[in-house]
Amino acid sequence: FFLSLKLEKKTKGKLQKQICQVVLDHFEKQYTAELGDAWSSVRDVLTSPWCWQHAVLLNRFSQRPGLESSLAEQGYQPAFPAALPYLPATLRCYSSTAPGRFPAQKHQPGRLKDYYLLNAASLLPVLALEVKDGEDVLDLCAAPGGKSVAILQCACPGHFHCNEYDDLRSRWLEQTIESFIPDPLINLMVISKLDGRQIGDLQPEFYDKVLVDAPCSNDRSWLFSADPQQAVLRLMQRKELSSLQFQLLSSAMKALRPGGSLVYSTCTLSRAENSDVINLLLSSCSSVMPVDISEMARGVSQEFTFLSGTQQHELLVLPQKGRAWGPMYVAKLKKASST
């Protein structure tokens, strides 16, 4: 116990030093204006990595005996106990209210991992997407691959296309897929390095479901930017992200079949990259309609804290002590059926 206390103190000191003041100042100004009173408790969690939590997503393609009882012994419980509009029996995720992390598994070529460690809120876009067996699915910005893996825990798409434009992140995606998915299923997938803004023109009206987990200002990692100059550059480039996100969304809509649905997600609290991007698409594209996800939000309200006042087609998970999940913004849209 004393050793862990000593380690925690050491870790606290180490992590405390790494908070990037220029990013924190920027967030302080923006999020006080956008989130009001909610910001101070969110800031406390974001700047305290020792209180962060990690959920454990089990891999249905690799059943390790005793794993679930081992998780239960360590205080983990099924993450989504409520009846949700969409919760396949094959999607099994465990979470704990205590901070800390279950031991990670190393990548071993030719051997599947038993579980994936993740922020539990990152499963919400997958649950909102409601993928069914046989559907044609596109994960437009797929790296590092956690949501692609989660989709395959839910269903077996007829055609599953995982795309990642960035070279380094693309290799990371390939390794994640190789670590969790058996070869016969990988052979049915397409993993590409296309510019996501062009996929809609390359494959118009091809997919039933599209996930756009967009490149965004990652609030958690940006707060710990080791290089202040890089942080300043990131904050300057931040203004351009919403334009890229809108272009990716527009491309995804083109790639969607009439009647198909799309989920957009980010891991930032920024309104400019969340609601504003979605509102711009809804106002500029008459074939796009919002889809109500409030029933899903109600079903998981025991596990997550949401920003109040959002519209029915969107939600924003706010990290809180004991529920340190998020930030995670999720919005669901549908393409009108052709008449």
Q: From 237, 258, 112, select the one nearest 186 (Cα to Cα).
A: 112
User: Any known ligand binding at 145?
Assistant: yes
Q: Please state, in angstroms and rounded to a whole number, the distance separating the CA atoms of residues 239 and 7.
A: 39
The answer to whether residues 335 and 112 touch, using CB atoms and an 8 Å cutoff, is: no
User: Any known ligand binding at 158?
Assistant: no
- Catalytic annotation present for 267: yes
**HSE-CB for 115 with a 13 A CA cutoff:** 22
Q: Which residue has the tokens 């209210």?
A: 97
Q: Which of 156, 216, 267, 285 is the catalytic position?
A: 267
User: Any known ligand binding at 146?
Assistant: yes
Dihedrals phi, psi of 320, to nearest 5 degrees: -135, 155
Q: From 261, 301, 283, 274, select the one nearest 138 (Cα to Cα).
A: 261
Dihedrals phi, psi of 229, to nearest 5 degrees: -65, -40
Q: Which residue has the tokens 């549908």?
A: 334
Q: Find out whether the peptide bond into 81 is cis, omega within 30 degrees of 0.
A: no
User: Any known ligand binding at 72?
Assistant: no
User: Any known ligand binding at 226?
Assistant: no
Paired tokens of 159: 């055609």
User: Any known ligand binding at 143?
Assistant: yes
State whether the Cα torsion 139-266-120-220 is positive or negative. positive
The answer to whether residues 264 and 328 touch, using CB atoms and an 8 Å cutoff, is: no
Residue type at 245 in one-letter notation: Q
Q: Which residue has the tokens 């700047």?
A: 47
User: Any known ligand binding at 144?
Assistant: yes
Number of H helices and E strands in the chain, helices first, is 13, 12
User: Any known ligand binding at 195?
Assistant: yes
Q: What are the catalytic residues?
A: 267
Binding-site residue positions: 141-147, 164, 195, 213
Binding-site residue positions for S-adenosyl-L-methionine: 141-147, 164, 195, 213
